[in-house]
Chain A
Amino acid sequence: MRLIINGESRDLQDVRTVKELLDVLGVDHQTVAVMINGEIVGRGDFQKSALETQDAVEIVRFVGGG
């Protein structure tokens, strides 16, 4: 399935949910927030939130800032 992840186009196999996507990418669930096509996915919804081809996924986390 082709997804746009943080602005980059990626082809990923066997990724059906946000949880599976984070696992495949090696991203820790605890420290990130996720948005799909502009809609925020709650932390409790990673497992049930389904992905579709061409979805634009933003995965963000906290960094240093003032």
Chain B
Amino acid sequence: MSNVLRVGDYTFQSRLIVGTGKYQTHEIMRDAIQASGTELVTVALRRVNLNNPGEPSLLDFIPKHTRILPNTAGCYTAHEAISVARLAQAAGIGNLVKLEIIGDQDLLWPDPVETLEATKILVREGFTVMVYTTPDPVLAKYLDKAGAHAIMPLGSPIGSGQGVLDVGAVAWFKKRVSVPVIVDAGIGSPQDACLAMESGADAVLINTAIAQAQNPVLMAQAMKLAVEAGRLGFEAGRMPRRLEAAPSSPAAGMIGATQK
């Protein structure tokens, strides 16, 4: 079962979720999505540019088998986020939502109070709610209790590429919540993704690390392999750490040794 991720009623064969922001072109984004093997991509909701209403739709560049996860990025209150979620649903792409409510503009740090409040309401309204949150295990328990369908702690600030600063939090979350734990934000390179997965994350969400790589399509493939390797490593169970060496070759039977 290493490659089945379940979020609410949805099932995904890939444990990598990919963001669609910051690509140089729609074509590069499409090719990166394909190379990543993802089955779930995030999108944002913004006003139509009335001066160029006919510009190509992002959705035309998202492969058909890929499910769309609209985010509430840019929202600062539960009220705003709920409106965006309802609008996204009205746009006709299902009931998934990535709930993201920011409480600090420079850190893009989630607002825990507004996030918990919005989670309760959106769950009640029938959304499948994937919640972007702080790496706080107590808040995670509240979100789980509120009915969140996936809990997504940040690894480090959005777009920073600093990696997963507190990878131990992943294990804390896994012990305390009943739904998938998805590391969202901060992953900068394949080793970060691999480490998050090896630590027990059910999935990772990556945008900037792929979109802003020198070769986004190649990086998408690298992330796919890193996520798979990390997951397999987690399932295999790593060896215990030791403070000192333990030889891999037999200590006995060395030539020239004297029999006593």
Interface residues of A (CB under 8 A from B): 5-8, 25-28, 31-35, 38, 40-43, 58-66
Contacts and interface: CB of A to CB of B under 8 A. Distances in A.
B90 A43 contact: yes
Interface residues on B, range: 35 or more
Interface of B: 19-23, 29, 42-48, 50, 53-54, 57-59, 68, 70-71, 73, 83, 86-88, 90-93, 158-159, 185, 205, 207-208
Nearest to A40: B90
B57 A61 contact: yes
Interface of A is mostly: strand
| B21, B54, B92 pick with most chain A CB within 10 angstroms | B92
Given A33-B91, A42-B90, A65 B42 contact: yes
Contact of B158 (A60, A62, A63, A66): A66
Given A26-B53, A28-B57, A35-B87, A66 B45 contact: no
A25 B93 CA distance: 23
B43 A63 contact: yes
Contacts of B43: 62-65
B63 to A, nearest CB: 15
Contact of A6 (B50, B90, B208): B50
Nearest to A31: B57
A66 B47 contact: no
Contacts of A59: 47-48, 50
Contacts of B68: 62
Nearest to A34: B90
A40 B86 CA distance: 8
